[in-house]
Amino acid sequence: MQSVLWRACFAVVAMVAGRAAAQQLPPVNYDEDKVPAYELPDPLRCADGSPVRTAKDWFQKRRPEILALFRREVYGKAPGKPTRMRFEVMERSDNALDGLAIRKQVRLIFDARFPDRAMEILLYLPRAAEQPVPVFLALNFRGNHSIHPDPAIRITTSWMRPRRDGTVRGNRATERGRGAARSRWPVEFVLRRGYGIVTAYYGDIDPDFDDGFRNGVHGIFGPPPDRRPPDAWGSISAWAWGLSRIMDYLETDRSVDSKRVALLGHSRLGKTALWAGAQDERFALVISNNSGCGGAALSRRRFGETVARINRAFPHWFCANFKKYNENEAALPVDQHMLIALIAPRPVYVASAVEDRWADPYGEFLALKHADPVWRLLGGTGLLMRRWPPLDTPILGHLGYHVRSGKHDVTWYDWAQYLDFADKHFAHSDVRPMPR
């Protein structure tokens, strides 16, 4: 009886707390007529009011300004490349997936002083292709072993979010998770198109929960939790930093064409891919899949997920300064079209799903549209359609876009467009930054 009473009390407390939390935020807006009037900052006008007229103006003045604003106000400042980082090849097979692939599993130790803090990188490269090969790089949500049922993939030992399907027990992955996310990873399809796949579990870099920035790479490289400045790096910045460390490895692997690495991310990892691509110009092509608020969607629209909602639900994702803009998006000195613009003139693809209203599909398209002038300034084709396109109708300029039928997910349809986009741009020399 006592346990029943306690459960009832906890249920009441949870209900009251949930209502109180809901009362702190306005209702979620899914009505275009209720999108507030807004004015976007101009990516081609410097902080001193001077216009950006040349590539030199962009690269030497305006781009550094915008990059510094995102580091200070949104994602936080990350450290540079570690001096004690090292790589260890844990396993290799030249006859993986019934002879279709070369498989490598590499352990990346962030700092030799902390050998237990490491990330495991899984590579599948097409065995029949001439090497070095172009690759798609993407972090995964459920461990490397989740992307394919290949029994040789090592099961992650890092912290994982509990799941009811038995794939995670006690915050540790189980054998039942092998291949559990296969629908999002058409490995054989990508290999047969001549591309490799490179992935790592994002929790190897920074476990995705708010512990005061004590675990993961924050626990190695600081700053100390009790002395964090308001522009210290959050988890998205940490995951983006981890992608650059994978790129460090790829530059050492002679079987990979490190000049043709397509960076892909879905959802929160789509936000991560955009931020990594904005900072690290070694990524030749960047893809955002359903990244929404803090990713490709314009914050000022307040459609679906908002700055206030994302900061309260995930207080560890962004830097502390970003919380100043909760329900105050108009005060932001940047918006997400400027994040996309930082990647110019390299190709960028943004993909939306029409039923994923939380991620504001139209706001994602508008951000791409408002980034377009930067590509055109730098001599690119930019976005080839000015209006939101019909469903399942890809646009393939230097800026690519589609809005897909269906929900928040990564599908084979999405991958088919990304492969076509990579084919288009990797066949030319326009994937590297322009001379400055």
What is the DSSP pairing of strand 118-126 with strand 101-109? Answer: antiparallel
- Do the domain assignments include residue 258? yes
- Do the domain assignments include residue 165? yes
Residues of the chain by 3-state class (helix, strand, coil), percent to 5 = 35, 20, 45
Confidence (pLDDT) at 311: 98
d(CA 414, CA 141): 18
Whether pLDDT at 2 is above 90: no
Q: Which amino acid is at 358?
A: W
Which residues make Cβ contacts (< 8 Å) with residue 84, sequence separation at least 6?
111, 112, 113
**pLDDT tens track for 129-151:** 988 999 999 999 999 999 999 99
Calculate mean pLDDT across residues 396-422: 98
Of the pLDDT bands very low, low, confident and very high (cuts 50, 70, 90), residue 171 is: very high
Confidence (pLDDT) at 11: 44
Structure tokens at 375: 């590509």
- Do the domain assignments include residue 55? no
* E-strand stretches of 68-132: 86-96, 101-109, 118-126
Confidence (pLDDT) at 14: 45
Q: Which amino acid is at 435?
A: P
Which range of residues forms the domain containing residue 249? 65-426
Handedness of CA 235, 240, 245, 249 (dihedral sign): positive
Which residues make Cβ contacts (< 8 Å) with residue 94, sequence separation at least 6?
102, 127
Q: Which among 100, 146, 97, 94 is positioned nearest to 120, based on CA atoms? A: 146
d(CA 331, CA 300): 9
Q: Is the separation of the CB atoms in 243 and 267 below 8 Å? A: no
Which residues make Cβ contacts (< 8 Å) with residue 116, sequence separation at least 6?
none
Structure tokens at 56: 């030199």
Structure tokens at 262: 């397509």
Our count of domains for the chain comes to 1
Q: Which amino acid is at 330?
A: A
- Do the domain assignments include residue 33? no
More confidently predicted of 117 and 5: 117
Tell me the percentage of the chain whose pLDDT exceeds 70.
Answer: 93
Which residues face 123 on adjacent strands? Answer: 104, 198
Calculate mean pLDDT across residues 8-15: 41
**pLDDT tens track for 101-140:** 999 999 999 999 999 999 999 999 999 998 899 999 999 9
- Using DSSP, how many helices (H) and how many strands (E) does the chain show? 12, 12
How much is the mean pLDDT over the chain? 93
Edge-to-edge strand list for the sheet holding 101-109: 86-96, 101-109, 118-126, 196-201, 133-140, 256-266, 285-289, 348-353, 399-404, 395-396
Calculate mean pLDDT across residues 147-174: 96
Whether pLDDT at 189 is above 80: yes
- Do the domain assignments include residue 284? yes
**pLDDT tens track for 58-89:** 999 999 999 999 999 999 999 999 999 999 99
- Do the domain assignments include residue 234? yes
Confidence (pLDDT) at 4: 39
Whether residue 433 is preceded by a cis peptide bond, meaning omega within 30 degrees of 0, is: no
Q: Could you give the maximum distance between any two Cα atoms of the chain, in Å? A: 75
DSSP, collapsed to helix, strand or coil, labels residue 100 as coil
- Do the domain assignments include residue 210? yes
**pLDDT tens track for 217-246:** 999 999 999 999 999 999 999 999 999 999
Whether pLDDT at 23 is above 80: no
Stated pTM of the model? 0.94
Element (H, E) at 172: strand 172-173
Calculate mean pLDDT across residues 160-188: 96
- For the packed helices 63-70 and 268-279, what is the interaxial angle rounded to 10 degrees? 140
Confidence (pLDDT) at 7: 44
Confidence (pLDDT) at 428: 52
**pLDDT tens track for 351-397:** 999 999 999 999 999 999 999 999 999 999 999 999 999 999 999 99
d(CA 299, CA 202): 25
Helices (H), 1-145: 2-23, 55-57, 63-70
Whether pLDDT at 13 is above 50: no
CATH of the domain at 291: 3.40.50.1820
Which residues face 122 on adjacent strands? Answer: 105, 199
Q: Which residues participate in catalysis according to the annotation?
A: 267, 408
